[in-house]
Amino acid sequence: MTIHNSNSGSEKTEVLHGPENTTKAILEFLSNAQSALDICADSSWPSVAMGVDVYRDALRDVYVRGVKFRIVTEITKDNLSYCKEVRKVGELRHLDGIKGNFGVSEKEYTASAALQEATLLQQVIYSNVKEIVEQQQYLFEGFWDRATPAEPRIKEIEEGIILGDTEVIQDPLKIQERFIHLVISAKEEILLILPTINAFYREERLGIIRLLMEATVERNIDVRVLTPINEIIEQNVVSMMALAVDQGKCLDIRPVHMTSAGVTVTTVTILVIDRKESLVIEKVDDSKEDFIDAIGSATYSNSKPTVVSYISIFESLWQQTELYEHVKESNKKLEIANEHLLATERAKEEFISMISHELKTPIVPLKGYAQMLLRPKFMGTVNEKQKKAIISMLRNIEKLQALVNDVMDVYKLDLGKIKFSNSYTDIGTLINQMIAELRPLTFAKQIELSADMRDNVQFLCDPDRIEQVLSNLIKNSIDFVPDKAGGKIIVRVEKDNTNNLTLTVEDNGIGIKPEKAEKLFQKFYQIDTGATRRHGGTGLGLVICRGIVEAHGGKIWVDTAYENGTAIKFTLPDRQERERR
C-alpha cells in the first residue's frame, strides 16, 4: 500500500511486505543516510542488526562512511553479545522497555511493527514525507535524552543487577484486564494516547472512556487524552469536558491531527498511570470493532526509565497540539487579514479608477480649448502675451495628463493588468522616428541626439510600450545633460549570438552615484530631493520602464561602470529563441 502526498509528488508513505522487498527497502534506507542515522528499537533489534549478514554489513558501511549513528534499545542479558557488536558501529544507549522499532535519517523514515531474533524483516513501513520524518526525529531526541549510556547497563547485567520490572503480555484477554485495572487503580493522574478513531470507539465500547470520566468526577484524578477525532467524537468530547468543568474537575481531551499524507505516526495505545506505570498496546487490525480482536501484544512496565520515556512521548505530542492550535489561530487571523487586504485592494482599484476618470474628464476639454485658442480661425487672434500664457497653460495641462497616465500605468503594472500588443517591429525605424519627434526638445537646448545601431532587426515586442521606455530614458537624459551646447545623448542597439537585444541610452550628464543607482527604479524616488531641486518629475517614469521591460522578459539597470555620465541599459530577449529552449 502506498500513500502519496498530494502537495509533493516525490513524497510517499508505503507498507512493504516480504523479506525481499523489506530487505531492499532497509538497505536503500541505510545507504541513503549521509550525515545522520538514528534507530530506536526493542530488545530484538540488536540480534537482527548483528545476526543477519546483510544488515550487519550495511551498518558497518554506515560506520565506514562516517555517518553519525545513534541507537536506543533495551539492553538485556539475552542480547548482550549483540549489543557489544552494535557499539563497534555506532553510539548505543539503553532505555528500559523501549518499543517502536523505527529508524530515521535526514530525509527518510522506516519502521517495523515486530522483530524476530536474527531474522529478516517481514513487514516495513517507509516514508519520506517531511512532516513524518521531522516528527520521528523529534521523538527520537526525546528517547535519546532519557536513555542511559550502554556501558553502565552492560556492567549491571554482567554483575547481576536488575532494575524495575518489564512484562510482555501476549494474551489479549489479560491485556484487556490489565488496561481496565490500571485505569481503576489510578490515584493522581492518567495519560492516554489513542492512535486512531477506531481505537477511541473500541475503548468507548470497552468502558475505558466511562472509567476516565468517573476517575475525573468521582476520584478527582487529572486525566489527559490525545486522540484523533471526527465530528461524532468531537461532540462527545465537548460534552464530557463541559461536565467536568462544571464540577471543577480536570479532564482534557485534545485532538491528534493527521499528517498531510493522511496517516498518523503513532501506531500504539499508550497508557501512563501516576507517572509510575505504563502499558503500551500494539494493534494488529484496526478495522476490528472488538478490543480483543484488534490488539496483538502489550508491554507493561514500572521501570522508571521506561515510564519516563512514554511520559516524554505524551508531553511532546501534547505540546504539538498546543502549537497546532496556535498555528491554526494564526492562520485564521491571516485569512481575515488577507480578506481585509483584498477589500483594501478592491477599494484602491475603485479609487484609482474614479480619480483617473475625474482627472481625465476635465483635462480633455481643457487641452482642446487651449489648442483652439492658438488657432485664430476657431477662436480669433490673440496677442503675444496671451499666446505665451496659453502655451504655458497647455504645457502644464500636458504635464498633468502625463502624470495621470503614469499613475494609471504604474497601477496597472502592479496588478498585471496592463495590456501589450506585440508585433514584429523594425527597431531601427522605431528609434529614428522617436529621435525625430524629440528633436525639438534637443534643438532648443542644443543637445546632440543620435543613434548607434550596429544591427537593424525585426523584433517581436509592443512598439508603443518600447517607444515609451526609450522616450522616458531620453527625456531623463535631456534633463540632466549640459544646456547650451556640449550635451550628448546616444541610443545604442546591440544583438548577441542568441538574438537578444540590448538597448542603451547613454549621456554625458552629471551621472548617478552607485548607491543611488540601486534605488533608481523604486516608486517616487528622486535623485535630487532638495527643496530647490532643478529637475521635475514624479519618480514614476523609470518604474514604468522597469515594468514594461520585465513584462517583455527582460531586465533594466544602470551601468555603473560607465564613467562619462549615465548609461541605462535594458534587454529584450528573443521570444522564439526562449520557446525553442
Is residue 317 included in any domain, yes or no? no
Residue 17 and residue 156 in one domain? yes
Domain end call among 139, 163, 187? 163
- Checking if the pLDDT of 352 tops 50, the result is yes
Tell me 160's DSSP state.
T
Its pTM stands at: 0.40
Which among 283, 302, 321 is the end of a domain?
Answer: 302
Q: What are the pLDDT digits (tens) for 31-49?
A: 999 999 999 998 888 998 8
Query: Both 123 and 73 in a single domain?
Result: yes
Q: 348 lies in a domain? A: yes
pLDDT tens track for 390-432:
888 887 887 777 777 777 776 666 666 677 888 898 988 999 9
Report if residue 315 sits inside a domain.
no
At 261 the pLDDT is: 42
The pLDDT tens digits of the residues spanning 84-102 come to 999 999 999 998 878 778 9
The CATH number assigned to the domain holding 7 equals: 3.30.870.10
Are residue 182 and residue 255 in the same domain, yes or no? yes
| CATH code for the domain of 475 | 3.30.565.10
Q: Are 489 and 505 in contact (CB under 8 A)?
A: yes
Question: In this structure, is residue 251 part of a structural domain?
Answer: yes
Q: Domain ends where: 163, 189, 223? A: 163
Rounded Cα distance, 36 and 105, in Å: 6
Q: Does 484 reside within a domain? A: yes
How far is 265 from 137, CA to CA, in rounded Å? 12
Nearest 5°: the CA angle 210, 214, 218 is 170
Give the pLDDT confidence score for residue 180 in this predicted structure.
Answer: 95
Same domain, 347 and 369: yes
In tens, the pLDDT along 544-564 reads 888 889 988 999 999 988 888
d(CA 160, CA 53) in angstroms, rounded, equals 31
Q: What are the distances in angstroms from CA 130 to CA 39, 423, 431?
A: 18, 48, 55
pLDDT digits (tens, 9 = 90+) for 478-516: 888 887 778 899 999 988 887 888 999 999 988 888 777
Q: How far is CA 23 from the centre of its chain?
A: 34
**CB count in 10 Å sphere of residue 413:** 17
Range scoring the smallest mean pLDDT among 16-20, 58-62, 98-102, 290-294: 98-102
Confidence of residue 12 (pLDDT cuts 50, 70, 90): confident
Question: Do 248 and 340 fall into the same domain?
Answer: no
Residue 324 falls inside a structural domain: no
Kindly state whether residue 62 falls inside one of the protein's structural domains. Answer: yes
Work out the average pLDDT over 372-398: 81
For residues 227 and 243, membership in a common domain is answered with: yes
365 and 505 co-located in one domain: no
Greater pLDDT, 93 or 342: 93
pLDDT (tens digit per residue) in 235-276: 888 888 888 777 777 788 888 765 444 444 457 899 999 999
Number of domains within the chain: 4
Q: What is the pLDDT of residue 182?
A: 95
Pair 130, 233 in one domain: no
When pLDDT is averaged across residues 320-339 and rounded to a whole number, the result is 79
The pLDDT of residue 579 is above 60: no
DSSP SS3 for 447: strand
Q: Please answer whether residues 81 and 102 qualify as being in contact, where contact means their C-beta atoms are separated by less than 8 angstroms.
A: no
**Where in the sequence is the domain holding 494, given as residue range(s)?**
423-580
**411 and 467 share a domain?**
no
In this structure, how many other beta carbons lie within 10 angstroms of the beta carbon of residue 267? 17
> Does 296 share its domain with 378?
no
Question: What would the grid cell of residue 219 be?
Answer: 476520584
From 66-80, 129-143, 183-197, 381-395, the region with the lowest mean pLDDT = 381-395
Whether residue 322 lies inside any domain: the answer is: no
Q: What is the pLDDT averaged over residues 521-528?
A: 65
Same domain, 170 and 150: no
pLDDT, position 260: 44
Ranges 21-25, 143-147, 218-222, 396-400: which has the least confidence: 396-400
| Of 219 and 249, more confident | 219
Q: Are strands 251-255 and 222-227 parallel, antiparallel or unpaired?
A: parallel
Give 529 or 463, the one with higher predicted confidence: 463
| Pair 131, 223 in one domain | no
